[in-house]
Structures are given as C-alpha cells and as structure tokens.
Structure 1
Amino acid sequence: MVRVDAAETGYGGADRRDTGAGTWRAGIRRVIRIGSRPGPWKRGPVLTALALLLGLLMLLHARIPDTGGLGSLAETFLPWFGLFVPVLLAGALWRRSASAVAALLVPVMVWLNLFGGLLGDKSHPDSDLTLVSHNVSADNPDPAGTARDLAASGADVLALEEITPQARDTYEKELAKAYPYHTVQGTVGLWSKLPLSDTRTVDVAMLGMVGPLAEALPAEERAATPRALRTTVATDQGPLAVYVAHLGSVRVFPRNGFWTDQRDAGAQALGKAVAAEQNERVVLLGDLNGTMDDRAFDGITSRLQSVQDAAGDGFGLSWPATFPVARIDQILVSGVRPASSWVLPATGSDHLPVAAGISW
C-alpha cells in the first residue's frame, strides 16, 4: 500500500490556510455584528414606551375621558393594571433591555403609591359595633340558608340589598330571632340588635331599572321601588345614622361602551343625602356597583371613609363570588373609627358579604 503524505501534495497546507482565512473572516463578521448591535440601553424602545405609558395611565387615571364610561371602566379595574408589570418585565429581560427595566420603575412606584397600603393588615382587634352588608341576589336559590349564615356572623347591624317580594318573608322569618328590630324599604332592608327610629327612603334616581331585580318586580313598581333607606340606630354612645343603598347596575353595550348613567345618578343623589345628614356619626352600607377609585363616587368619598381602605386586610374583593375581581360592596363611615374589615364566606348570592368593625 502506498501512502501519500498530505504535506507533499500541498493539499493539507491549503486546507489549513483556507481554514485560517475562514476563521479570520468569521471573526471579522462577528465583531461587525457586535459593534452594530444596539446596547442594552437602546434595546426594546417599544417596551420602554409601554412601561412609561402604563405608569402615566395609572398616575393620571382621573384625566381619562369618561366618554362611553371609559374613565369609570379604567378606575374600576385600576388595581389589576399592576399585572402588566410582570408581563413587560418578562419582555424586557428577554430583549435584555436595560431601558425597559428602568422604565418599569415608574408603574411600580405609581401602583405602590395607589394600592401599596392595601397589601398589609391594618385591622385592630377590638371594635364596639360589627356591621355586615350583603347583596343577597334576586336569583338566590336559598334565601333561608343565606339568612342563617348572615345571622351566624354575629353582626350587630345587618344590611341586605336586592330583596325580592318573594324572598322578603323568608328573610324576616329567619332573622327575627337574632334581630328584634328591622325595616325593609323596597328592595333594601336593615336588621339590627339595637332600636331603630326615624326611618325613611332615599331617592337614588332609579328610573329605568334593569337587571334581574327589575324582572322580579311588576312593571308598574320598577320606577317607584325604593333602593335606598336612611334610619337611626340607637347605641350606648348616641345615635348612629345608617344608610343602606343599592345603586343601579352598570352595563357594557357594543355601541355605548361602559354604561353607568343609572348608577352615577344614584351616586349623586346619595352623596347629596349624606351631605345633608345632621348626625355626625354616619355609616353607609350597600352594593354601590363600583369601586371607591371610581370618580362617580367623589361626592360620597369626600365625606365618608372606606373601612376597607382604612382598616382592612388586602383588597377585600366581593364580586363576583366565584372569582372576585372588584369590591363593589362597600361599608363607609364618618365620625367613628374604622377598626377592621373582612369578607365573609360565600352564600347563595353572586356577591360575597362584607363586614366591618367600628369603634367610637
């Protein structure tokens, strides 16, 4: 067998030369690519812009036009805007964009400024009076069971909303033993362990009532049925003015967007009633069909304080019961000290009951 030395043919040397030249050219191309690639502070301009826009949107939410209810819609779900932060962070890390990561500090700081106070437990162990409010739902399949669960909560004052004529007798019967005093005005009611007086309805402009509750009422009663009341609870420390309200529902229509006209009119009327209240100690319980971040409630929140915001543990989400995304059931006070706030277990309603403790 004859062996041919590669060195003698010259092929091996050529291969080595070619390989060296190819490596050199590849290195040059690599250097050019690295040199032309944007630095970490120049990458991800779209992600950077989105992060800044998110922060400005939360910071200036009150400036969002309310055309088609857009402003109210944004403010209703404002806390959930924080979920966009980890999404944008993942994109920034994938793009290795230092500018996008830095820009995300803006929405993080704004969100913490708006909602950071709700992350901790601000409740106090002692309270003088326990309040509970619950939209019991017109479609509740077990009003008797709901009434028993609410009575077992130990509430001193219990407000119910969305009481249908068919279920009223059931609630009155089941709650009679625990609450010797009560009043029902239209579709709202108050049960109390303490005496009640000076009870009257509050006009919250419910013309054009819609939804399940409207369907449960005769047509001639829909416009005239009260959905709010005011009464006085006699306590050891003096009179306590208590309002119970169920404001109009909101609707999402393809053409009109987020429709809140009915609710907003009720919120304005309720705000005026609270402003005219002579008693210095005031409590408002009810399903207001909106969060307290919504500008529609400025007339109420300027005079009353949310117990959940002042003494709650977390966000206290109450609707829908199966997967709560918003707190639209509220307990607000003035002239008393918020002590604690919490959410009770689900009943047969599509809302969760909300509870609060107050002190003198």
Structure 2
Amino acid sequence: MGERTDSGTVEVSEAGVSWWVGERPGRWARGRVTAGLALLTALLLAFPRVVPDRPGHLGSLLEAFLPWLGLAVVPLLALALLRRSATALLSLLLPAVAWAYAFGGLLLAAPEPSGRVLVVVQHNVSDVNTDPAGTARTLAEAEPDLIALEELVPAALPAYEKALAPAFRFHEVRGTVGIWSKHPLSGTRAVDIKPGGIAEGWSRGLRTVVHTPYGEVAAYVVHLPSVRLGTSGYASSWRDESAHLLGRAVAAETVAKVIVLGDLNSTVDDRGLSPLTSQLNASERGFAFSFPASFPLARIDQVLARSATVGRMRTLPATGSDHLPVTARVALR
C-alpha cells in the first residue's frame, strides 16, 4: 500500500518503508540510460569513424569486429524489460536498423554471377599445417580456376605442388605466397609490400597475369603483416603500411581487370585497409568468417576485384590450418 506525503510517496510493505522523492517514474520516463546506450550503439554501427584511430588504433579495432557490436542489443533488451521501460524498448530499434542497414545485405540470397566467371579460392594454409596434401585436396574439390595460398613453407611446398598438379597446370610461388591456375600465367614477379621496420628476406606478395578465356586478369596474392592487441592498444602500423604499399601497386597496375586474393589480417570495414579497399570491389553477400578456424570471428581472408564483381563469399571445410578457406565466383566485366 502507499500513502502520499508532501515530500513524495511513502510505500509500506512487510519489509519496511520505502521512500520515493517525487512521483514514481512512469514507464516512459524509466530506462533513459539504457536508451542512451542504444543510441550510442546505433551511432557506432552507422558511423564507426567517429571513433578516432589514435591512440592505439581503436577505430580500426572497432571496425574489425563491427558486426558483433549488434550483440549489444541483447543485454540492452534485458535491461529494458527489467526496467519495464517503453522508452528503452523503442530505442532498441535504432541499433537494430543500423545493423540491418550496414550488414543485413550480407544475409540476403542473391543469384550467383554467370557468364564471364572465374571461381577463386583463398587460403592461409598455416606454416605449421601437418597435412598439406589433405589441405590441397579440400581446396581442389571446390573446382576453382585459381587458388591463392599464403604461409607456404619450403618443406610443405612439394606436397602442394604434387596434389594440385593434376588439375592446375600452372603455378607460381614467390616467398611464402603462391598461386595455382587452370589458365596460363605470365609476367609473374614479387610485389614489395614489406614495411620499413621488418627485416630483409620477408616476401609476402606476388603479381601475375592470368590468361583467361575472357581476357587478361592481373592477380595479386598477398599476406599482410599480423596485428596484435596489447596494453598499448591495437598494433596495426605494419599492416597499415603494407596495405598502403599494396594499394599503390594496384593503382599503378596497367591491366584493367584485377583480382586481389590474400590474408589481409582484417576485414574490409577496417580503415587501415582503405588505401587498398577504396580501389576495389568486395563481396556484398556472405559473412564467410574465416579466422580463427576453431571459432570464426571475422573474415580476414579476402577476395577483392577491379572491373569485376565478387559474388557471395563462403567458407570451405576446415583444413589443417588455423584459417578457413574462402571461395567466391568473380564475374569479369
């Protein structure tokens, strides 16, 4: 039971007396903090670049895992229900709409491209993979035109060459990256994407021309430097410098059609990759989270293209690597 007083409301129960200063807040007045958090979540989903990249590359870190920010709606919904707040419940529409706008298209079905199409597979095979032959067979079963591999070590290379030779007559390796193709290759060379702070001998990029039935395509196979999350923040400076060098190489490419395949060590939303991704098309269908293989959280293995459209991305079965392979159909224009 309750009794009004001049200073507010006294509520009497068996447990004692509770005092409310003023009127008890209504369901529209409650939950303002929850509503504010929902608004902040929507803002970050829609405009992640409001978060500065300095210090600690926090903006890049947010963008690398941006789709998962939508999960914030779950605890906010629980709070809104607990508070019985109509304001908080309605505010949750904002992050839901923002997430759907940013990532909902990746869930939609779309017709696969047809006609002038190349099927490609991208895979970081891991330098500690104990089953290179089995890995190669898994990739070949997707029946691609091109296979791009990273973390190729000399001890495992013969196994890949032997397993892939029957279906892929042409292949090139530079440093720790390689490409296998059903179509002839020419003009293969290493691409220098080594950041200034890394020792000599580091070679993780190649460029070659694939002579397809639909004309020449410049194919790049790359492995950008790893990133680390530590007490000083998100260490991505080497990765960003490497992306800048790769972007400059792609910008100078004279062949009109370009496909970039590689482990970029981040997602296409990451501003650190913008020197490259701003020039190229990415898939608009399929999340295809590829890393880590045991519990995939992000797609850091990418297929990007110029003068071509990348179809739905999907993952292939797990191999002996800590990455999952990804594949896509690329329609040449």
Q: Please give the per-residue CA displacement for 1:38-93, whole angstroms capped at 9, x wherever unaligned.
A: 01111122212211121222222112111212111100011000000121011101
Contact 2:287 2:314 in 1 (8 A): no
Matching of residues 44-83 of structure 1 within 5 Å:
44-66=31-53, 67-83=55-71
The match for 2:242 is: 266
Paired positions, count: 318
The match for 1:331 is: 303
CA distance in 2, matches of 1:73, 1:302: 19
The match for 1:352 is: 324
The match for 1:183 is: 172
CA distance in 1, matches of 2:197, 2:324: 26
* CA drift at 1:336: 2.0
* CA drift at 1:175: 1.3
* CA drift at 1:33: 5.6
Q: Tell me the TM-score normalised to structure 2 length.
A: 0.90
Q: Report which of the two has the higher share of strand.
A: 2
Verify: 1:316 aligned to 2:288, yes or no. yes
Contact 1:126 1:339 in 2 (8 A): no
- Which amino acid in 2 is paired with 1:122? A
CA distance in 1, matches of 2:159, 2:40: 52
Matching of residues 1-360 of structure 1 within 5 Å:
26=1, 28=3, 32=9, 36-66=23-53, 67-124=55-112, 126=114, 128-208=117-197, 223-254=200-231, 256-307=232-283, 309=284, 312=285, 314-360=286-332
- Which amino acid in 2 is paired with 1:274? V
Alignment RMSD, CA only?
A: 1.9
CA distance in 2, matches of 1:340, 1:76: 20
Residue identity (%) = 51
CA distance in 1, matches of 2:218, 2:83: 58
The 10-residue stretch of structure 1 (287-296 or 61-70) with the greater mean CA deviation from structure 2: 61-70
Which secondary structure state, in structure 2, belongs to the residue aligned with residue 305 of structure 1? coil
The 10-residue stretch of structure 1 (173-182 or 185-194) with the greater mean CA deviation from structure 2: 173-182
Contact 1:340 1:358 in 2 (8 A): no
Which secondary structure state, in structure 2, belongs to the residue aligned with residue 68 of structure 1? coil
Larger Rg belongs to = 1
Q: Tell me the TM-score normalised to structure 1 length.
A: 0.84
Unaligned runs of 5+ in 2: 12-21
CA distance in 1, matches of 2:97, 2:269: 18
Which secondary structure state, in structure 1, belongs to the residue aligned with residue 262 of structure 2? strand
CA distance in 2, matches of 1:117, 1:138: 35
Contact 1:51 1:103 in 2 (8 A): yes
CA distance in 2, matches of 1:132, 1:349: 15
- Which amino acid in 2 is paired with 1:176? A
Q: Report which of the two has the higher share of helix.
A: 1
Contact 1:206 1:223 in 2 (8 A): no
* CA drift at 1:290: 0.5
* CA drift at 1:208: 4.8
